[in-house]
Structure 1
Amino acid sequence: MSPREPSLRLVRAAAFAVACVVVSVGGHAFAGGEPVPGWAMGAGVLGALLMAYAVNRSERGAEVVLASTVAAQVVLHQLFAWSAPAPALPGHGHRLGMFVVHLVTAALTGWWLYRGERAVWLMLRLWAMGSLAAFRWLLTALRGQFPPPRAAVPVGVCDYFTGWEIASAVCRRGPPAVFHAG
């Protein structure tokens, strides 16, 4: 499965668009107290969907996801402010509150979407590795060409890992020793 797969790109873009719009509508209503019309939410989802579909040709880093989320929040703020049925409250405090809410929303949503995308790609890679191994085993079984069995390790031989990952490995062969109490 490739990141360029159109159906997968559409699912990722839809998740991005819905997350951005739902969180933005909630934050906008919370900070401004104004309901957002349904047509504006639909236009926001469509705009965010198109932008995300254009950007997500491959797995993106945190900076791209965060920048896209901030851009989506700025556009959504303008759209929702323009479409509000009641005029926005005058004053800089209200605008500053909206700006802070959208910025915090963009940061949290961007990080959440970035980590979610990383998790999805990790699961897909792990699934592909397992299914490829099973496919190779099936082909080998169908051909009747099995690899030679591995030789048993002699009792006194133990390979220690000398890398930095496992610097102090303990080698014990066989079942644990039995100790009797008392």
Structure 2
Amino acid sequence: MNTRPPLRLARASVFAAVCVLLTSTGHATASGEPLGPGSVLAGFAGVLAVAFVLAGHERSLATITGGLLGGQFMLHTLFTAAATGFGHHGNLQQLVAEPAGGGTAMTAAHLLAALGSGWWLRRGERAAWKLARQTAKALLRPFRPVPSLPAETVRHVAVPSEVVRPRAVMVLRHVLVLRGPPKGLQVLGLG
């Protein structure tokens, strides 16, 4: 079942909001500094664009969790670059190699956040798709053909062939039956 653009946008918005909220909260907590609204909005727009493309059908837990990990990695890189200034780090490779707030602790935090929120989003995903399938089934029910019921068999009573039917039954009702010769012929002596 493919989704229409408004439903895709709603699903992608929920995914992007969870991803950006987790990453920005974790990043601000680890660094001790608030993030600028411009970097948060840019991160939301980027994740929303990717999620919109991928929101065409139901996704598995592994796909959702992988998307969250990828989104958190990209957002972490964006937020770190925005907090330190893009020009102070030599390149993106150096920026990724020196995560703010400790490498192992930050990676573990991102991993746990992605697993927990991935599980939560998958449950919502499953419930939303189940509801969509049930709604579609209910809306299309009046348009499905009704299966024909087997016709009741009419029992015919067999009439034995040796039963003789009376002559009155065999003659049509509106036929005038005259027995004998016409009366005018009797007068002439022919009858």
TM over 0.5: yes
What letter matches 1:126 in structure 2? Q
Query: Which residue in 1 is equivalent to 2:13?
Result: 14
Query: Which residue in 2 is equivalent to 1:28?
Result: 27
What letter matches 1:130 in structure 2? A
> TM (normalized to structure 1)?
0.66
Contact preservation (8 Å) 2:31, 2:100: no
Give 1:96 deviation, angstroms: 2.1
**Shift in alpha-carbon separation, 1:18–1:99, aligned structure 2, 3 A:** same
Contact preservation (8 Å) 1:17, 1:48: yes
Query: Which residue in 2 is equivalent to 1:83?
Result: 82
Contact preservation (8 Å) 2:8, 2:52: yes
Contact preservation (8 Å) 2:28, 2:35: yes
Equivalent-residue separation in structure 2 for 1:8 and 1:126 (angstroms): 16
Give 1:21 deviation, angstroms: 0.4
Contact preservation (8 Å) 1:31, 1:97: no
Contact preservation (8 Å) 1:27, 1:105: no
How many residues align? The count is 141
**Shift in alpha-carbon separation, 1:39–1:125, aligned structure 2, 3 A:** same
Give 1:17 deviation, angstroms: 0.4
Give 1:127 deviation, angstroms: 1.7
Equivalent-residue separation in structure 1 for 2:124 and 2:61 (angstroms): 11
CA RMSD, Structure 1 to Structure 2 (Å): 3.1
Question: Which structure 1 segments of 5+ residues have no match?
Answer: 141-145, 149-182
> TM (normalized to structure 2)?
0.63
**Shift in alpha-carbon separation, 1:14–1:62, aligned structure 2, 3 A:** same
Equivalent-residue separation in structure 1 for 2:132 and 2:100 (angstroms): 47
Pick the structure with greater CA Rg: 2
Give 1:129 deviation, angstroms: 2.0
What letter matches 2:44 in structure 1? V
What letter matches 2:57 in structure 1? S
Q: Which runs of 4+ in 1 moved over 4 A?
A: 85-88, 90-93
Equivalent-residue separation in structure 1 for 2:13 and 2:101 (angstroms): 33
What letter matches 1:27 in structure 2? G
